[in-house]
Structures are given as C-alpha cells and as structure tokens.
C-alpha cells in the first residue's frame, strides 16, 4: 500500500495545444527511450496499438515503416490505413523499474500524417539512423514515414 500511495503523490503534468515543446524534464525520457507505443484508430474508433522505433525533432515524432518483417505490404499496414481514415493518434513512452517509485510515462496526443517525401522526412531519416544503427542498412528513403505532431502531452510519475 505504501508504494501505491507514493505513486499517487508523484507529479502529473498536462500541457495543452499550443505548447510547442514538451517540458524539459520529459526530454530525457524521450531521448533515452528506444521504443514507444503508437495508438491509432480507424474511422469507427477501433483502436490499434503497436510498438515503434521513433525519433523526436522538438516538435514532431517520427517512425518509419522499416524493413522489419511484416505480414502485409507497407502501404496496407493497419496503422497507415487508420491514419488515412482518422489522423488522431497517441504515443506512450514509459519507464519501468522494479522500484515502483521510479515508474513514469508520458502520453502524447497528436495529429498523425504519412510522409513520402520532403525535408522533414529526410531530416527524420538522418535522426533515425543516428539513434538506431540498424536503420543505416535499410532503404528508408523508399518507404513511408509516420509523423505525429504533438498537440497535448500528459506525464505521470518519476519523469
């Protein structure tokens, strides 16, 4: 019970639309996290959540449709179909620790888009290759990229 009480006392932060950057204390988690979870929904609101590799450029989160094995063609992936039908999306980046007083997460709400060209996409590819060495061997230039522009961020816990 003591751990739960402690967790309930941990700070919760909310920033609404117009905040161009997340609070400074969340930047460390964003930079260090290797995986986030992307939530999209189709036009009927049916949710779809998947783990993703990502980078953040200070305003937008980017995740490529990379060359890891998939069961369908890149443009037919459920996440891309959902974004075309409903651009609202969310990302969860979390930190787990056996000491539950160190738990924390951030929940990013935003507008998702599919990028197939442009400077933002090229810059995102450069950032992705810097963060994940595996992408240095993949032809990301030939594949779609998901961009999520942050409209709201909620943090909880020891961030």
Query: How confident is the model at residue 83, as a pLDDT?
Result: 97
105: domain CATH number?
2.30.110.10
Confidence check: pLDDT of 26 > 50: yes
Instruction: Identify the domain containing residue 100 by its residue range.
Output: 2-157
Q: What is the pLDDT of residues 10-24, one digit of tens each?
A: 334 444 444 556 667
Domain count, the chain: 1
Secondary structure of 50-109 in HEC code, one letter for each residue: EEECCEECCCEEEEECCCCCCCCCHHHCHHHHHHHHCCEEEEEEEECCCCHHHCEEEEEE
Query: How confident is the model at residue 21, as a pLDDT?
Result: 60
Q: What is the pTM of this model?
A: 0.84
């Amino acid at each position: 019970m003591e751990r739960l009480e402690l967790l309930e006392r941990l700070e919760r932060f909310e920033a609404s639309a117009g905040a161009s950057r997340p609070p400074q204390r969340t930047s460390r988690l964003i930079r260090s996290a290797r995986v986030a979870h992307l939530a999209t929904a189709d036009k009927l609101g049916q949710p779809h959540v998947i783990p993703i590799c990502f980078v953040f450029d200070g305003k937008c989160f980017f995740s490529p449709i990379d060359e890891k094995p998939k069961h369908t063609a890149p443009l037919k992936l459920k996440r891309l179909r959902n974004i075309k039908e409903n651009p609202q999306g969310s990302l969860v980046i979390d930190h787990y620790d056996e000491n539950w007083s160190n738990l924390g997460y951030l929940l990013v709400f935003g507008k998702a888009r599919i990028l197939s060209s442009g400077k933002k996409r090229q810059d995102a590819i450069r950032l992705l290759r810097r963060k994940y060495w595996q992408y240095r061997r993949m032809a990301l230039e030939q594949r779609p990229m998901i961009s999520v522009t942050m409209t709201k961020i909620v943090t909880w816990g020891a961030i």
